Amino acid sequence: MTLDDVDTCLGKLDGIRARHRDGRRAWYVDGLLVARVDAAGTVLIRLGGRDREQLVATHPDTFGVPPRWEAHDKLQADLGGDADAIRSALTLAWERQRSARARG
């Protein structure tokens, strides 16, 4: 998977806006972060709780939580990993952020 694939996946979801922040690509829905470029070859996805735990357990070669992100609702995806799992995680993150905005 490439960053263009991430952009295509997220671009199909309602309300997603792509931006460049600190020189890195990022995607937001209603002003809330969904995903952004992290270390080379990775994307940081805003997703925590049981969804994050399940993705790491099910796809350990694709997802991880580096120590600096353990206390945050974020998940690191290796773009060389399972593309379908990454697309699912991006969609889950989008759904969570839309729900958060609707509640708040």
The Cβ-side half-sphere exposure at 45, using a 13 Å CA radius, reads 33
CA distance 40 to 78: 9
- Our count of domains for the chain comes to 1
pLDDT (tens digit per residue) in 48-95: 899 999 999 999 999 999 888 888 899 999 999 999 999 999 999 999
Q: 25 to each of 7, 31, 53, 54, how far by Cα in Å?
A: 9, 14, 25, 26
Q: Which domain holds residue 56?
A: 3-103
The domain spanning residue 30 has which CATH number?
3.90.1150.30
Q: Can you give the pLDDT at residue 103?
A: 67
CB 32 within 8 A of CB 58: no
- Model confidence, pTM: 0.93
Tell me which residue of 52, 57, 59 sits closest to 83, measured CA to CA.
Answer: 59
Q: Can you give the pLDDT at residue 104?
A: 58
pLDDT (tens digit per residue) in 17-60: 999 988 899 999 989 999 999 989 999 999 989 999 999 999 99
Q: Can you give the pLDDT at residue 84?
A: 97
